[in-house]
Structure 1
């Protein structure tokens, strides 16, 4: 067979080779070892290669294309086998919200809990924890996240709790959007699988909360909160009402964020990184009554794992029971600040700035005010709330005394 040869190296290794010319250039290819190829098969392979070259094709290029196609098929098959559980940790690491440096700690904890396998000893009570609502989806491959699969999952989870299942679905939609934005996962997921009509129709109706303190309820609420055995929770709840801050914003407050000298409070903000508001007279005194726990930087310190207050619902429930008030959430205190601020005569723009609302052109036309310009309005709101609560407070007779405890 012309072009077929046997190459022997200096070490004695032998292999069949084929050599020919294509477009004036030498083409040489190794066929294989004589141990694997007998002479007849080597001649047949050489004849095939000769036919390919005579047709104007380079067998080396054809082999490279075949190898690339094989690798692409293997990569596609591997990608098809990628499960949600394998991608989920990366989503938690990289999938932060737009314009944010990282997840909010509370939301990240919720994401982790939603996909937790369960089976751990409960922190309260006996027994073990149940798997999170999203845990059954962790075993599915990304390509299996179809409308039918998500509808079947949602129907099962809704039997245990429809609102919890709906919240889990909303979180999982964020995961689908993130995957659809990644080149390596884009072809594997259906971004809109979680928004299909069959699923949306099964979602529970959402009603916007409107709970807030009425003026006549302020004295009972204040008295109930003031008498709480947990001093930290008592001050925390009153601080929410006096500032309109979101509960996590206030809970994350550090002592370094409290400027007693220039009477300012720097709060981690939902829209911006932080916002600074005036520190009013009564709130200054109130925060000053809290002890500083050695080694703990948080204002509302706790012995829990996070070092700060996390959940005051039980304490708030006691105060509400004492006051005979029903259905008031801690977020309702934020709405209460807004309504009571309006009743006190503070401008809508000033109230919005203190609360950290996104700037808009509503009401008086939003224009940011300096701390000094905000201070009289926030003092006005505080005096109005204290007046409703029946609190007689004279800032001239009060001193700030921080107590350090071990």
Structure 2
């Protein structure tokens, strides 16, 4: 092997020997340092490209190794010689320079990972120190809203609203929600003691809404506990305080229900409501015993006039089929078909009836009655007792979960059996209301 003292001229003039693909020139100053010149031919062995690079060659444990240092264009002679001497020292110490390089890269990567972990920890700490309940609530609602009903979604929005917004149908401004006072509290500060103090204040003003707020807050904190960002910041059990529940008290059993002797007065004022959609909706609500949103979200495609059945969204199951009794069919057939919704509303953003309770309260006030929309559902269940309808029949029509082993595992009632009893229930209620109704063929007609 030719050995010379590397100079700039010799390095520049060195070329691969004719007929060879690579040639070497070795340095006398730095043991193991060489200059390699290569020739690469194309597929036709005509055109070729030339290249040069500094290399280091030595033996480790009797095995020859060759390491590329770099091209003369980027490495000066002094730098190449210094690198060759460094590699020689490593080999003399019994180490493999390639492994040393790999270990160095691994150490650098580990250092970068440690710095990234430190930055992530700092970001988490910043979130911990700054995020409030009001900040994360919209994110929580957006994530969970697809699994909620419209009413449940609205509850989440109202429960934390800041208030002070002009109402649509009233000169009064909206009031702050029960959780509005906690919206600015940092998540890390939302402790059990803080919630207990909040519960004492809310219990004096609106315990019913505060009980709902506490349940919604508890679900939100459980969601935070499983969130990749908020986990470890919030205290999942902060809203499970026994003292907070005691401060807010227990919900009282609602007793708003239509008695048999009140049915006539209720029908008289409800049938006089100027909006025919609301009037029909309220009557159907009583005669079906359905939940308010189950009936409000009824679509025309869910109504089968041929087989007299309704498909209602159900909170226990995905949906349930209930009979469509003659008077209910008459009310539905008379409704205007303005959209996909049976109980449509051209003024509502959703296109369907959303707030029938205002008209209902006004009608009840005229009749001297005090019954809510859900009270109509209780009224259906109570009035069924007068017709001696089996409890399981009424429960299935209303969408209550089956009670008892027989109901859960053995009894499977067809729609015709439900219809037989449901028609009797409707006829008895209409009789008490003084509403004369006679189904006509092929259509239906109400006789006032």
TM-based fold match above 0.5: yes
Larger radius of gyration: 2
Q: Structure 2 unaligned segments of length 5 or more: list them.
A: 1-69
Q: Deviations over 1:383-404 (max 9, x none)?
A: 1111111222211367259xxx
Match of 2:128 among 75, 80, 91: 80
Q: Tell me, in whole angstroms, the C-alpha distance in 1 between the residues paired with 2:365 and 2:181.
A: 39
Contact 1:285 1:398 in 2 (8 A): no
Match runs of 1:31-50 below 5 Å: none
Whether the 8 Å contact between 1:349 and 1:367 is mirrored in structure 2 is no
Instruction: Identify which range, 107-116 or 255-264, moves more after superposition.
Output: 107-116
Moved more, 158-167 or 252-261: 158-167
- Output the CA distance in 1 between the equivalents of 2:94 and 2:109: 14
Q: Is the 8 A contact 2:203 2:247 kept in 1?
A: no
C-alpha RMSD of matched pairs (Å): 3.3
Per the alignment, do residues 28 and 166 of structure 1 end up closer, same or farther by CA in structure 2, a change over 3 Å counting?
same
Structure 1 position 206 matched with structure 2 position 251: yes
Deviation at 1:69, TM superposition (A): 5.1
TM-aligned CA distance change 1:397 to 1:184, over 3 Å: same
Q: Does 1:396 align with 2:440?
A: yes
Q: Secondary structure at the match of 1:236?
A: helix
Match of 1:3 in 2: none
The match for 1:305 is 349
The match for 1:40 is none
Distance verdict in 2 for CA 1:234–1:128, change over 3 Å: closer
2:200–2:248 CA contact under 8 A, matched in 1: no
Mapping for residues 230-269 of structure 1, pairs under 5 Å: 230-269=275-314
Higher relative contact order (CA 8 A, sep 6+): 1
Contact 1:158 1:164 in 2 (8 A): no
Structure 2 matches for 1:327-338, cutoff 5 A?
327-338=370-381
Deviations 1:55-77 (A, max 9, x none): xxx96587357435524532431
Q: Secondary structure at the match of 2:154?
A: helix
SS in 2 for 1:153: helix
> Are 2:162 and 2:177, in contact at CA under 8 Å, matched by a contact in 1?
yes
Deviations 1:235-259 (A, max 9, x none): 1111011100001111111111111
Displacement of 1:274? 1.0
Which 5+ residue runs of structure 1 have no aligned equivalent? 1-6, 30-52, 402-406
**Structure 1 residues 149-168: aligned runs within 5 Å:** 149-158=194-203, 160-168=205-213
Distance of 2:224 and 2:323 partners within structure 1: 43
280-289 or 175-184: which moved more? Answer: 175-184
Deviation at residue 128 of structure 1 after TM alignment = 4.7
2:159 matches 1:95: no
**Residues 61/285 of structure 1: CA separation in 2 closer, same or farther (3 Å cut):** closer
SS of 1:267's equivalent in the other structure is strand
Alignment pair present for 1:354 and 2:397 = yes
What secondary structure sits across from 1:393 in the alignment? Answer: strand
- Shift of the 112–178 alpha-carbon distance from structure 1 to 2, 3 Å rule, reads same
What secondary structure sits across from 1:176 in the alignment?
helix
How has the CA–CA distance of structure 1 residues 62 and 339 changed in structure 2, closer, same or farther, with 3 Å as cutoff? closer
Instruction: Summarize the Cα distance change of 1:102–1:69 in structure 2 as closer, same or farther, 3 Å threshold.
Output: closer
Question: In the alignment, what sits opposite 2:230?
Answer: 185
Partner of 2:18: none
Structure 1 window deviating more from structure 2 (158-167 vs 370-379): it is 158-167
CA contact (8 A) 2:208 2:251 kept: no
Q: Would you say 1:145 and 2:215 are equivalent positions?
A: no
* Residue matched to 1:10: 74
Distance 1:64 1:243, change over 3 A: same
Q: Do 1:244 and 1:333's aligned partners in 2 also have CA atoms closer than 8 Å?
A: yes
| 8 Å contact kept, 2:438–2:444 | no
1:85 positional shift: 3.3
User: Which of 115, 139, 144 matches 1:67?
Assistant: 115
The one of 158, 163, 175 aligned to 1:113? 158
Deviation at 1:197, TM superposition (A): 2.7
Out of 356, 365, 372, the residue aligned to residue 321 of structure 1 is: 365
Write the distance in 1 (CA, Å) between the matches of 2:173 and 2:161.
Answer: 12
Matched with 1:343 is 386
**Quick one: distance in 2 between partners of 1:155 and 1:23?**
75
- CA–CA distance in structure 2, aligned partners of residues 10 and 331 of structure 1: 84
Tell me the alpha carbon deviations over residues 347-384 of structure 1, each in whole angstroms, 9 at most, x when there is no partner.
21111111000122279777231112211011111111
Q: How many residues align?
A: 360
Q: In 1, distance between residues paired with 2:318 and 2:198?
A: 37
